[in-house]
Structure 1
């Protein structure tokens, strides 16, 4: 489930505790979590509702000025299905975000990340890819995954899976569109360009 930046900011600030979606069937379930740049979003409940059941409070607590604005936004959805109210809250920080922000690393630590990437590349059936993807994201922050994948002659979904692997290591961050290197990722690329130094 995707969230606009202003919605995530509202969830993080406690101003938003629900969102509305048009779905044939719910895409999330109560108790599930989603990692975002703002932290871990926890899904509290998912309820099918009619337009008549959507209240003014629903609109205000989902980031809209009033009920009419929320209903207008829902009516413009290109998806088929019914309205669903998703209650949620911020459950804490994303461990990956903390990892991504940790850029004050020794040469030994950076060499360890390099060796970890070497292992990923060595196990890849299509050959080394980690440096190519990191370099591409470094050179073109904010570019859509579809366009990044095309530059490498790859399909979008497998490419996104590779970026997720790098994100798990704290090397990339997702933007509203595309990606960028995290502080940790930038430190690694500087290290790789400079060559290994003393740990």
Structure 2
């Protein structure tokens, strides 16, 4: 499940404690966590609800102005159940502390080398980092095109680099973290 940035920020600020989704079956489990633009969000409840019983107060707790707005946003078929997913802020994204860790990068270099060796298309980690460094804030689709990749595959690659603390997501596009910049500038 992906949370919009405004909702994730609302959870972090204590203003949002739930979202509503229409799915054929629940796609999240109690205790699972989501890494969002605002930090880590934990799923604390998953309950099937009658969408007609969602109130305006429920909607505001989901970061929406009205129950009608919540219902209009549902995807899926009308016969699919609606779930209320309870959320709570669980803390900062652990990757954030990695972003500023610019000291010994030998383990990161080794991880990138392994990723490149396992790739069917050859080395991609450093070229992707250089592209992000060259074009911060550029849409993923444009970066993917420049890299000769399809957008979903390119985004997966950037997420793998983000796991190592090398890139950061922006509202649009990406940028190198201090760690990513240090790695590119390294020996």
For Structure 1 versus Structure 2, the TM-score category normalised by the shorter chain is 0.7 to 0.9
What's the CA shift string for 1:103-157, capped at 9, x where partnerless?
xx34xx2455344423432333321111111122223333343332222222333
Query: 1:55-76: per-residue Cα shift (whole Å, max 9, x none)?
Result: 23312211233xxx24224314
Aligned length: 185
Partner of 1:180: 175
Match of 1:26, SS state, is coil
Report the TM-score when normalising by structure 1. 0.79
Q: Partner of 2:29 in structure 1?
A: 29
TM-score (norm 2): 0.84
In the alignment, the residues of structure 2 paired with residue 29 and residue 74 of structure 1 have an alpha-carbon distance, to the nearest angstrom, of 22
Distance (Å, rounded) in 2 between the aligned partners of 1:46 and 1:166: 31
- How far apart, in 1, do the equivalents of 2:25 and 2:139 lie? 27
Name 1:139's counterpart in structure 2.
134
Match of 2:9 in 1: 9
What is the DSSP-based 3-state SS (H/G/I as helix, E as strand, rest coil) of the residue aligned with 1:48? strand
**Aligned mates of 1:21, 1:64 — CA distance in 2:** 13
Who is 1:42 aligned against?
Answer: 42
Cα distance, 1:176–1:169 mapped onto 2, change above 3 Å: same
Q: Are the aligned partners of 1:100 and 1:185 in contact in 2 as well (CA < 8 Å)? A: yes
5+ unaligned residues in a row in structure 2: which ranges? none
Q: Is the 8 A contact 2:19 2:85 kept in 1?
A: yes
SS in 2 for 1:11: helix
Alignment of 1:65-80 (within 5 A): 65=65, 69-80=66-77
Deviation at 1:39, TM superposition (A): 1.9
Conserved? CA contact 2:56–2:67, under 8 Å: no
Distance 2:56 2:123 in 1: 54
| Alignment CA distance shift 1:51-1:124 (3 Å) | closer
Q: Is contact 2:128–2:158 with CA below 8 Å preserved after alignment?
A: yes
Find the aligned partners of 1:121 and 1:139 in 2 and give their Cα distance.
Answer: 20
The answer to whether the aligner puts 1:130 opposite 2:129 as a matched pair is no
CA contact (8 A) 2:5 2:36 kept: no
Q: RMSD value over aligned CA atoms?
A: 2.3
SS of the equivalent of 2:88 reads: strand
Contact 1:22 1:74 in 2 (8 A): no
